[in-house]
Amino acid sequence: MVNLSRRQFCVLGTVGLGAALLNSCQHQSNSIQPVASKAVTSASRYQSKNGLLELDLEARESLVNLGDRQASLLTYNGQIPAPRLEAKPGDQVRIHFTNNLDQPTNLHYHGLHIPLTGKADNVFLQITPGEKLTYEFQIPENHPSGTFWYHPHLHGLVAEQLFGGLAGLFIVRGKDEEILELQAAQEEFLVLQDFALDSDGKRSSSAQMSLMMGREGETIVVNGQVKPNIDLSSGGLLRLRVLNASPSRFYRLSLEDHAFYHIATDGNNLNEPVEVNELLLTPGQRADLLVKEDKKSGQYRLLNLPYNRGGMGMMGRNNRDKPITLATINYSSSAKSLALPTKLNSISALPEPQKVRRFELNHGMNPSVGIAFQINGEYYGSKDFIDTEVQLNTIEDWELINTGVMDHPFHVHGNAFQVISRNGQSEPLLAWRDTVLVKRGETVRIRIPFKDFAGKTVYHCHVLDHEDLGMMGILMIQDKPT
Ligand SMILES: [Cu+2]
């Protein structure tokens, strides 16, 4: 890796990082003072040690450098993106969390298969301003290796807090990552976020119309940088681990003159690499992509291609009508040619479900806020009972029917699922996902095994304004028949 600033090095630090340098990056982040007057942009990573991942995490407003300007954003530990957390299956996780925002918040561990109750992945917790809470949970021994993330999930404030910047990666590194070809690849993490800022670098408030569509900002950043250059040290194989941490913006990714080899959907490896020319990443989703550095030396733009996610009459708009450069990847070709992995996982299709349910996604009216986004005609909070009750250790098919005019990426907390069909056509790709796009007019059937953890959680649209405006339901996983 060449031409990287110290900050980039900390952000992009890879397998080869020396312990001393890593400590230096962590020390740098720990030493940041909790004041909004100081510009800080460093991002760090925390790794588990002797089976424990322990850190202090503080949510607060901070000044950060975005490209050539300063912005006042909501951060964890003053950083955009938030520190990258890395743990192994079986590890204990202890996060000493402090809320120094001026509004309540909490933490959701998106995609992790961990307890849904207590001080774990419990979205019903509410941490008021000034309050501290220690999150503590164990990552199961048999947890898949993969790309997960953490962000706030307090209903009504989720979009605003994500759009403020609160998001970070949570990487699980287990045995299924010990694939020689992957270990030989150069690993880079790309956290995609967008912000709406005024001329003073303050966060602009969103108009009601844009909340209906889901808010998007004109400033797009990759790892907190505007159009960064990613310099690769030598020709070979590049592994891009991409997170869409935007509250609403879709990213239709492509790399000039290169194909992607898609190796993981959300938090799980595919069985083998799948060659694609582009990849659509909706809010909440992650993708792991290999790129062969086999073209001539040069600069290749990572692009966000146009995508129309629908709209409501006059409010509708296509988000962008021409490609946008997200980052530029630079490499010098060499004689070195690294092989692609051939086998990455051994996913088998789930057995037939015990139950089938239907969920219709659309919008309607809520007397108190106007337009509400709904699941089966109900908006979140319109009643105080459980929307969906399932039994632990059963498998269900959920038919997700989008009868509205906008696309909705659907996320289920706690348990990954397989997509069975779209509009009645079998899904060709056998994969685990935790967030799936249901395009307007589309019916997507997913199959979910409810495993290991009973308790109350949620499912919702991951266009987070839609979630905040009601497109969420409560899921109760019962551990014995009632
Ligand atoms: Cu939606």
DSSP 39-59: B-----EEE-BTTEEEEEEEE
> HEC states along 218-266?
CEEEECCECCCEEECCCCCEEEEEEEECCCCCCEEEEECCECEEEEEEC
From ligand 1's centre to the CA of 18, what distance in Å? 43
Q: Which of 17-26, 199-208, 457-466 has the lowest mean pLDDT?
A: 17-26
pLDDT digits (tens, 9 = 90+) for 328-364: 999 887 666 788 999 999 999 999 999 999 999 999 8
Q: Alpha helix (H) ranges present in 123-172?
A: 158-164
From ligand 1's centre to the CA of 405, what distance in Å? 10
From ligand 1's centre to the CA of 404, what distance in Å? 9
pLDDT digits (tens, 9 = 90+) for 385-425: 789 999 999 999 999 999 999 999 999 999 999 999 999 99
- Indicate the pairing of strand 418-422 with strand 443-449: antiparallel
pTM of the model: 0.90
User: What integer pLDDT is reported at residue 367 of this predicted model?
Assistant: 80
User: What integer pLDDT is reported at residue 231 of this predicted model?
Assistant: 86
From ligand 1's centre to the CA of 464, what distance in Å? 7
What is the number of alpha carbons within 13 Å of residue 399 lying toward its C-beta?
11
User: What integer pLDDT is reported at residue 35 of this predicted model?
Assistant: 34
From ligand 1's centre to the CA of 56, what distance in Å? 33
Of 398, 406, 367, the C-alpha closest to 473 is 398
From ligand 1's centre to the CA of 463, what distance in Å? 5
**428 within 8 A of 411, measured Cβ to Cβ:** no
CA distance 323 to 297: 23
pLDDT digits (tens, 9 = 90+) for 93-130: 999 999 999 999 999 999 999 999 999 999 999 999 99
Listed in sequence order, the residues at least 6 apart from 470 whose beta carbon sits closer than 8 Å to its beta carbon are 366, 372, 373, 374, 378, 379, 380, 381, 382
From ligand 1's centre to the CA of 250, what distance in Å? 12
Q: Is the dihedral of CA 173, 179, 183, 187 positive or negative?
A: negative
From ligand 1's centre to the CA of 479, what distance in Å? 30
3-state secondary structure of 278: coil
From ligand 1's centre to the CA of 371, what distance in Å? 13
Q: Residue 83 pLDDT > 50, yes or no?
A: yes
Share of the chain above pLDDT 70, in %: 87
From ligand 1's centre to the CA of 377, what distance in Å? 14
**pLDDT tier at 481 (50, 70, 90 boundaries)?**
low
CA distance 49 to 92: 10
**pLDDT tier at 176 (50, 70, 90 boundaries)?**
confident
From ligand 1's centre to the CA of 458, what distance in Å? 15
From ligand 1's centre to the CA of 329, what distance in Å? 32
CA distance 214 to 212: 5
CA distance 219 to 231: 22
Of 467, 130, 442, 156, the C-alpha closest to 310 is 442
User: What integer pLDDT is reported at residue 212 of this predicted model?
Assistant: 87
From ligand 1's centre to the CA of 189, what distance in Å? 26
Please classify residue 125 by burial: count the beta carbons closer than 10 Å to its beta carbon, then call 0-12 exposed, 13-18 middle and 19+ buried.
buried
From ligand 1's centre to the CA of 162, what distance in Å? 15
**107 within 8 A of 135, measured Cβ to Cβ:** yes
Q: Which of 67-71, 189-193, 331-335, 464-468 has the lowest mean pLDDT?
A: 331-335
User: What integer pLDDT is reported at residue 233 of this predicted model?
Assistant: 75
User: What integer pLDDT is reported at residue 482 of this predicted model?
Assistant: 54
From ligand 1's centre to the CA of 103, what distance in Å? 24
From ligand 1's centre to the CA of 386, what distance in Å? 21
From ligand 1's centre to the CA of 461, what distance in Å? 5
Instruction: Please report the domains of the chain, with CATH numbers, ordered by start residue.
Output: 6-174 (2.60.40.420), 181-331 (2.60.40.420), 355-478 (2.60.40.420)
From ligand 1's centre to the CA of 410, what distance in Å? 8
From ligand 1's centre to the CA of 392, what distance in Å? 27
